[in-house]
Chain A
Amino acid sequence: ILNVEQSPQSLHVQEGDSTNFTCSFPSSNFYALHWYRWETAKSPEALFVMTLNGDEKKKGRISATLNTKEGYSYLYIKGSQPEDSATYLCAPFMYSGGGADGLTFGKGTHLIIQP
């Protein structure tokens, strides 16, 4: 079973502040890194898929970076809004010699934006 670490586990941020959190994963057999946003009572929705070392992706106020050599990714939210409250999940897609390992999700960072 793949070890995917996300930190912090939960985060309270004031509306308007910027924030970031981390995803760590094994750097060997790496194919891609996914970020998803999971709102209560809904299903996870994709934010980004990144494949190359040094990749940076941006969608509105949310951006992500990727370091495949050291096995980590950061997600940044600029000027947090109440609608950003959700659990943010990362999932590396790894490929081992015996077959594809698929998408293994971390436990997520639970973000709460306080008005």
Chain B
Amino acid sequence: GAGVSQSPSNKVTEKGKDVELRCDPISGHTALYWYRQRLGQGLEFLIYFQGNSAPDKSGLPSDRFSAERTGESVSTLTIQRTQQEDSAVYLCASSNRQGYTEAFFGQGTRLTVV
């Protein structure tokens, strides 16, 4: 596709359930980022993938959060045993030269935990 695609666009889940969020980066982009925006807050860094290197997971808030990316393709962010504080917009971005070029953002997934 022409841009970064995220699915689903909206997700409502019950507390305690697992959810999986998907990000399709722009073709050829080696870098992929996940961020979270809670209500009224800024962009919180979660995880960063660069090519086949080990990802920088320093932003993942707890061990309930995990993310995978195979090569330079799709990435999935999984949240296990969701809590109400996980409610947020989850944004994915990709870029083609690590930090030297602009990142392009998807439209985000709005997650609501009830």
Contact = CB atoms under 8 A, between A and B. Distances in A.
A84 B58 CA distance: 34
A contact face: mostly helix, strand, loop, or mixed: strand
Given A1-B59, A43-B91, A107-B42, A99 B53 contact: yes
Contacts of B53: 99-100
Nearest to A49: B102
B7 to A, nearest CB: 15
Interface in A25-79: 31-32, 34, 43-46, 49, 51
A1 B56 CA distance: 11
Most buried by B among A1, A31, A43, A51: A43
B100 A31 contact: yes
B107 A43 contact: yes
B56 A105 contact: no
Contact of A108 (B42, B54, B100): B42
A104 B98 contact: no
B105 A103 contact: no
Given A31-B99, A43-B105, A44-B105, A101 B56 contact: yes
Nearest to A101: B56
B32 to A, nearest CB: 10
Contacts of B107: 43
B84 to A, nearest CB: 23
Interface residues of B, number: 26
Interface string A83-94: 000000100010
B42 A103 contact: no
Q: How many A residues touch the partner, as a band?
A: 20 to 34
Contacts of A103: 33, 45, 48, 93, 99, 103
B2 to A, nearest CB: 14
Interface of B: 33, 35, 41-43, 45, 48, 50, 53-54, 56, 58-59, 91, 93, 98-108
17 contacts: A1-B58, A32-B100, A34-B99, A43-B106, A44-B43, A46-B104, A49-B101, A51-B100, A93-B100, A99-B53, A100-B50, A100-B56, A102-B99, A103-B33, A107-B41, A107-B42, A108-B42
